[in-house]
Structure formats: C-alpha cells, structure tokens
Structure 1
Amino acid sequence: MVKIEFAPINIPFNRRMQTIAVLYWVFTFLFLAQCCMGVFVLAVLSGYWHFAALYGLWLYLDWDTPQTGGRRCAWVRKWTIWRHFRDYFPIHLIKTCDLDPKHRYLFGFHPHGVLVAGAFGNFCTEYTGFQELFPGLTPYLHVLPFWFKFPFLREYAMSAGLVSCSKKSVTHVLSQEGAGAISVIVIGGAEESLEARPGSLTLQTLHRKGFIKLALKHGAHLVPVFSFGENELFNQLENPEGSVIRNIQNRLRKIMGFALPLFHARGVFQYSFGVLPFRKPIYTIVGKPIVVEQNASPTTEEVDKLHQRYLDELNGLFEEHKAQYGITEQGHLVFK
C-alpha cells in the first residue's frame, strides 16, 4: 500500500501562489483545448451562434497568422502568474556569451521533457531575464500546429509568443527584415517526450536535420541550448522500445501528430501522486553560436557536416556544465 505524504497546512502564501500558477499552466496543456472547443460548440448550439459565426469568419481570415510570426502580447507575457510559475521550480536562464542582435539565430532546445517547462518559462514570459541577457533579440517558440487549430486557444497561445513549427513558420521568422529574430525549436519533438523521465539523457537528434537546412538557407547562426532539470520534473510509466505501451504511443503520435506520455509526479495537497511537476530547479544554458554562412541550396554533405558540428557543440555544452548541475561524471548524452 502506497503511503501518501500530505503537504503541511502552514505553507507560506508565496508557495501556494506558485502551486496555483503551475496548476494553471498544466491545466492549459491538458484541458484548455477541450474547454475552448466546448465553448465554441455551445455558442453554435445556443442563442449566441452569431458570435460563433463571426469568430469563424475571423478564423478563416486569420488562419495563417501562427505561420507568419504570430501575434505576441507584452501584457500576457508579463502576467504576474508567470513570475510565480518561474519561482515554483525555479527556472534560471544562463548565457555563455553575448549574441549580436545584428544576426538571426536558430536556438536548438534540448531536451523536450514532458511539458517543455524551461522553454515556456524562458521564451514565453518576461520573468527569467531574457531581454536583459540578450537585448535586441526576440524569441519565437515553435510548437506543433495542432495547438493553433482550436478556437480561442490559438489567440492565447500566440499572445505568449508561440508560433507554428511548420517550415513556413520558421522560414517567416528567419526571413524577417532587419535582424534579432530567434527561432526556438525543441529539436527532439513529441517523440523525445516519451523518453522524458528523471535521469534520462536520451535525445532524438540523429535524424533531425530539417532545422540545419533552414539555418543554412537563411544564414541563421545555430545556438545549442541545454536545459538541465527538464527531465527531472515528472516520472513516466515504463515504456521501453518494443513494449505494448510504447507501440501504442508511437501509433497515436503518427496519427495525431503529438505524443501522449503517461506521466505523474505530485498533487496540490499531497506529494505522492498527481500531474503537477516536482519542485526541481531548471537551468537553461544558452551556448555559443555556430556561425552559419547563407547557402540557398545546401548539399547533403554540407547539411551532414553542419549537423555533426552542431551535435559536437551540444555535447560540449553539456559536458562543460553537467557537474555544476548534478550530473555525474558517468552521465553522457545519448543521441538517437
């Protein structure tokens, strides 16, 4: 029988606010899409169908916005709830060198984790100091196009700085006039989330070269980013390669375009089970840029060469900082 560890009653108010903030964030990932769709359907079936019709027209006219830079809102990115969200873990953004705002950049973010907490906290809110660390640069976090198919949710997602991860979307960001735009891509994607569990150092990278081609075509400097602690936030049901659970998850991923990791961690009033992440610190290290010369038609050999250099730089970034953030000398990245 599992012993339940209940949270103490006399928890400081600021910690309660942090828990509420993270609960809200988890809710948006797991249930907000269904709620938004439900509201839209209810509006259609009720006396407010004309509002639904107007919004439907808006969707038709605005459908491509998630692929053309989105529509960020500084007010949403500065909501106080995101400060509490940052402090829950807490999340730290650390730079290793200055980035010249005269250039465009493509950040490769690793690892995916279960819910990409580090990427959201650092690039979709204003509370980890991104603007102070990298003045003149604007990050765009690319996520699955799936999230922009839901009414109302798409507006909310774009307001935080989220855009589609389609080729058209990345091309738009990296083609903006002037400079200072950053495409932030979680390279491992949905497949990597199925590997996310404490202690995991497995990255889905060997066969992911699309971002390399885009960086070459647009002359965007490549920057490896490793987020220590990302995989420590949740436990996950055992799903080794070849298992029934993993086969079902892979099949659903291919059908729906996103993965369904069976994760668990802690609850609101107890620490033994639930869907809230553990309070584990996240340290997101932004590495040094790999200078990329623009090449409109890169060859396979050129793509492979730059891809290997990127992996070497990513591995070097990890090895340089791992001891400082709790990884043993025996811990090494595994590229799949």
Structure 2
Amino acid sequence: MKVEFAPLNIPLARRLQTAAVLQWVLSFVVMAPVCVGIFLLLVIYNYWFIYIPYLVWLYFDWRTPEKGGRRSQWGRSWTVWKHFRDYFPVHLIKTHDLDPSRNYIFGFHPHGVMVVGAFGNFSTNHSDFSKLFPGLTAYLHVLPFWFRCPFFREYVMGSGHVSVSKRSVSHVLSREEGGNISIIVLGGAKEALDAHPGSCTLFIRERKGFIKMALTHGASLVPVFSFGENDLFKQVDNPKGSWLRKLQDNLQKVMGFALPLFHGRGIFQYSFGFLPYRKPVHTVVGRPIHVEKTLQPTPEQVEELHQTYLEELRKLFEEHKGKYGIPEDKTLIFR
C-alpha cells in the first residue's frame, strides 16, 4: 500500500484541528481505561487519603448522571472544540422553529462509529445550537458505562452528557416550564456495526422506548439526520453471518457497547490510522411531531406514533439527501 504523507507546509489552523480531533478520539479510546488504571493504582499502593474521599464522593454523586448531570460551561467553551468543529467541518441545520416552552426528544440518526455530529453540535458551545434554538438546553444521552469509570465520569459530565437510562430521560423531560431536549442516538451500539461509508441502514423498528417516553411526558418528537456521519471511518467488512459479526454481536450483548474494527487516516499521513477523515457532517433537525401527554399509552398508540416518526424521518432524509451528496436511488433501510 502506497502511503500518502501530509505536506510539511500545512497551515497552523489545520494542524490545530488535527490535534483537537486526536485528543477527542484518545479521550474515549484511552482516557477511560487510563483513569480506571490510575484509580486501581491508588488503591493498590494505598493512597487512602485520595481514594477514600473520592469513594465517599462517588457514593453521594452516583445518581447525578441520571439527574441532569453537571455540565461545565467553561469546559464546553474550550477553544479545542472550535478546532474540532472546523476539522470536518460540522454543521447544524434547522428546518423548523421549536417552542422553548415545550420539551423535546431528538432522535439522532445514524450512530456512525463515534457519533461526531451529536457531540460537535450538542456537547460544545461552538456550534450554532444556541443561536438556532434559543431558550432550549440539549442533553446528549450516552451509555451508563462511561459514568462508572472513576474520574473519567467527571470529564464526560462536563460536556453536558447524561445517562441514557429511563430515569435520566424522564428527569430531563419532566421540566414543567419546558426548554429541555433529550438527544438519543436511537440506533445505539448495534447500528455502529453497520456504519460503513454510504450505508443508510438504521436500527429503529424495535426501538420504541423513546416513543413511550414521549407519550408519558407529552414531549414533542424531532427526527434528526446527520449526513456524512457514516463516511468518517471505514470498517473491516463484517456482513451478517460472518465470524467477525457474530463475535461483535456477542460482545455487544455482554458489554453493552459495540467494538467496530474501524480505520481512517493518520496524524502525518492520509493512508491509514484511527483519526476520522476530513469530510463534512451536516446535522439536519427536522419537523417536530406534537405529542399529547398520555400517562398510560396503549400498544396501539405507541405503534401509531412510531410509524408517524418513521414517516417523518424518511421525509427528512429524502428532502435533504440531494444537498449532501446522497445518490437519488439511495433510501433509508429500517431494521
């Protein structure tokens, strides 16, 4: 394989963008296990004056990720996130106004390998979110696993992330005066295994828990499609039925998250590595679906609203796919 090296005269701005994305990737690939390792070393070498107070803190703070988290405006405003946004770049597109007196569930699609569009647009203060949707606060729900990692959980919460548990979603949507948005990546870990360039496959048919939450809280549903999300990495071929896919599916069932074998570009060359490719991501926020509050929704009501959501999601995709390089014959596949 011929290696294509990056030229030496790359502008400083682009080097900063690469560094910003590098630290973001490493924070999820390396930082979590490093934090766990540091905590174990503190216990092994009996630095009790550090780990004992932290364990006490952890005991009282354990439910915070399910109670709105603990976002840091300072951390969300780091300049590094501006460089992160500009690397791809990441764009947020509004199609309809949202009433800040209501609560919403944003269904984010597709998952991709690392959910770049969701993080860049909803977990930093360097997107156009506050300008496009004034009076609204976004909460990106992520796997509870990240909040079980000592020290790392504080870093994750700083960006405004909260748990994807039912209790956490319910807490966000229970704000009586409205103004909250629960952002749920509905395809989850399973969908990440199908995040190949050009893929339009979404795991959504059996995902109906968010529909029940919308009905019980009277929260409006908003489909969101992030064009370009699946083009940021390439995965090792893992078709259904292959030994690799069976292994990945089994690991996903045991651990709760997927392990896609992905690759992208490197730091100083473009041929291989674990950094995402520099390809634009356009996250389009669709039309809100008004939902009447129903404390005890019937299966028929859930199914009807689920079908309405799928129809709106498909309309959103079809209306905008031509703008972002999706071939006319491509359509969404719901599984």
Shorter-chain TM-score tier: over 0.9
Q: Distance in 2 between matches of 1:76 and 1:173?
A: 21
Q: How does 1:47-126 map to 2 (within 5 A)?
A: 48-126=47-125
Greater Cα offset, 16-25 or 174-183: 174-183
Q: Output the amino acid matched with 2:11.
A: P
Q: How does 1:185-204 map to 2 (within 5 A)?
A: 185-204=184-203
Q: Distance in 2 between matches of 1:7 and 1:266?
A: 10
In structure 1, the partner of 2:26 is 27
Q: Distance in 2 between matches of 1:81 and 1:331?
A: 35
In structure 2, the partner of 1:255 is 254
What CA deviation, in whole Å up to 9, does each residue of 1:126-155 have, x standing for no partner? 111100100000000001100100011111
Q: How far apart are residue 72 of structure 1 and its match?
A: 0.5
Q: Distance in 2 between matches of 1:131 and 1:335?
A: 31
In structure 2, the partner of 1:177 is 176
Q: Output the amino acid matched with 2:253.
A: K
Q: Distance in 1 between matches of 2:166 and 2:241?
A: 31
In structure 2, the partner of 1:289 is 288
Q: Output the amino acid matched with 2:181.
A: I
SS in 2 for 1:31: helix
Q: Distance in 1 between matches of 2:42 and 2:13?
A: 38
Q: How does 1:170-249 map to 2 (within 5 A)?
A: 170-249=169-248
What CA deviation, in whole Å up to 9, does each residue of 1:299-329 have, x standing for no partner? 0010000000000000000000000000011
Q: How far apart are residue 29 of structure 1 and its match?
A: 1.3
Q: Distance in 2 between matches of 1:190 and 1:6?
A: 33
In structure 1, the partner of 2:132 is 133
What CA deviation, in whole Å up to 9, does each residue of 1:75-114 have, x standing for no partner? 0000000000000000000000110100000000000000
SS in 1 for 2:107: strand
Q: Distance in 2 between matches of 1:329 and 1:47?
A: 63
Q: How far apart are residue 179 of structure 1 and its match?
A: 0.8
What CA deviation, in whole Å up to 9, does each residue of 1:12-55 have, x standing for no partner? 00000000000000001111111101111122233532211100
Q: Distance in 2 between matches of 1:118 and 1:255?
A: 27
Q: Distance in 2 between matches of 1:111 and 1:70?
A: 24
SS in 1 for 2:317: helix
TM-score normalised over the length of structure 1: 0.99
Q: Distance in 1 between matches of 2:32 and 2:253?
A: 20
In structure 1, the partner of 2:4 is 5
In structure 2, the partner of 1:157 is 156
Give structure 1 stretches of 5+ with no counterpart: none
Identity of aligned residues (%): 63
Q: Distance in 1 between matches of 2:236 and 2:48?
A: 43
Does 2:301 match 1:333? Answer: no
- Coordinate RMSD, CA, aligned: 0.7
The aligned length equals 335
Q: Distance in 1 between matches of 2:289 and 2:31?
A: 38
Q: How far apart are residue 294 of structure 1 and its match?
A: 0.2
Q: Distance in 2 between matches of 1:105 and 1:177?
A: 12
Q: Distance in 2 between matches of 1:219 and 1:157?
A: 28
Q: Distance in 2 between matches of 1:27 and 1:163?
A: 20
What CA deviation, in whole Å up to 9, does each residue of 1:128-187 have, x standing for no partner? 110010000000000110010001111111110100000010011001232100000000
Q: Distance in 1 between matches of 2:284 and 2:201?
A: 17
Q: Distance in 1 between matches of 2:78 and 2:321?
A: 32
What CA deviation, in whole Å up to 9, does each residue of 1:219-271 have, x standing for no partner? 00000000000000000000001110000000000000000000001000111
Greater Cα offset, 175-184 or 98-107: 175-184
Q: How does 1:137-148 map to 2 (within 5 A)?
A: 137-148=136-147
Q: Output the amino acid matched with 1:216.
A: L
Q: Output the amino acid matched with 1:60.
A: Y
TM-score normalised over the length of structure 2: 0.99
